[in-house]
Amino acid sequence: MKLELIQGDLTKVAADAIVNAANSSLLGGGGVDGAIHRAAGPELLAECRLLGGCPTGQAKLTKGYRLPARHVIHTVGPVWQGGTHSEEATLARCYKSVFAQVQAHGLRSVAFPSISTGRFGFPIDRAAPIAVREIRAAFARLPQLEKVTVVLFSPWDLEAYQRALSAAPGENV
Ligand code: AR6
């Protein structure tokens, strides 16, 4: 069991699933969502159209089409509103919902972006500890889970996650 932090492009990662930081329409957007749709091809949008959107904090699974990943788990993170609208609890729910899909589909490897910390404005120093905590909890719960990778786009984002990891040392790392 292994949690790995890397800097790079999530759309290049071969895993059982990559996670999309989507919006509730599930019909694409900018950021990592746009990059995933571009790399997966139009079949991904066609499948997403059948899903009827996704509420904030929940997650839905599709195929990966032209991506190296076999599946995409789309989740909708909270928009940061200053921290007074249960944004931290909602972000934690995104991770739990993603891992519920991982469990339901028997997946062994999953790669995440930093959900909500781009367009949605969630401060990365507050998001990273939540991600680390929820990923560790999933390792403890799911015997099938072998590898979780968090793919950070910038060196600064990578450093924020490394800080969160070293502030809370634990197993499976
Ligand atoms: N690989 C890894 N990380 C990436 C990539 C990539 N190819 N591209 C961007 N990032 P964001 P959000 C990073 O804005 O904050 C979309 O329009 C990025 O640098 O993609 O959850 C959706 O449709 C940042 O650190 O997602 C929604 O409307 C992180 O991914 C909205 O944005 C997340 O940034 C969701 O906003």
**120: Cβ below 6 Å to ligand 1?**
yes
Ligand 1 midpoint to CA 142 (Å): 27
User: Which residue, judged by its Cα, is nearest atom 8 of ligand 1?
Assistant: 32
- The catalytic residue among 9, 16, 33, 125 is 33
On average, the pLDDT of the chain sits at 96
Please report the pLDDT score of residue 2 as a whole number: 93
pLDDT digits 0-9 by tens, 107-163:
999 999 999 999 999 999 999 999 999 999 999 999 999 999 999 999 999 999 999
Q: Which of 76, 98, 153 to mutate to test the pocket of ligand 1 (most atoms within 8 A of CB)?
A: 153
**Beta-carbon neighbour count of residue 104 at 10 Å?**
9
In this structure, the strands spanning 147-152 and 59-63 are unpaired
C-beta separation of 51 from 75 below 8 A? no
In percent, the amount of the chain with pLDDT more than 90 equals 96
C-beta separation of 21 from 57 below 8 A? no
Tell me if the pTM is above 0.85: yes
Q: Which residue has the tokens 């249960």?
A: 86
pLDDT band at 99 (very low <50, low <70, confident <90, very high): very high
Rounded Cα distance between 94 and 40, Å, is: 22
Give Cα separations from 159 to 87, 95, 151, 154 (angstroms). 22, 20, 12, 9
In this structure, the strands spanning 71-76 and 59-63 are antiparallel
If you count DSSP H runs as helices and E runs as strands, how many of each does the chain have, helices first?
5, 6
* Domains in the chain with CATH codes: 2-167 (3.40.220.10)
Please report the pLDDT score of residue 1 as a whole number: 54
Please report the pLDDT score of residue 126 as a whole number: 98
pLDDT band at 168 (very low <50, low <70, confident <90, very high): confident
pLDDT digits 0-9 by tens, 33-51:
999 999 999 999 999 999 9
Residue 173, pLDDT > 60, answer no
In this structure, the strands spanning 109-112 and 17-22 are parallel
Burial class (CB in 10 A: 0-12, 13-18, 19+), 148: buried
Three-state secondary-structure class, residue 109: strand
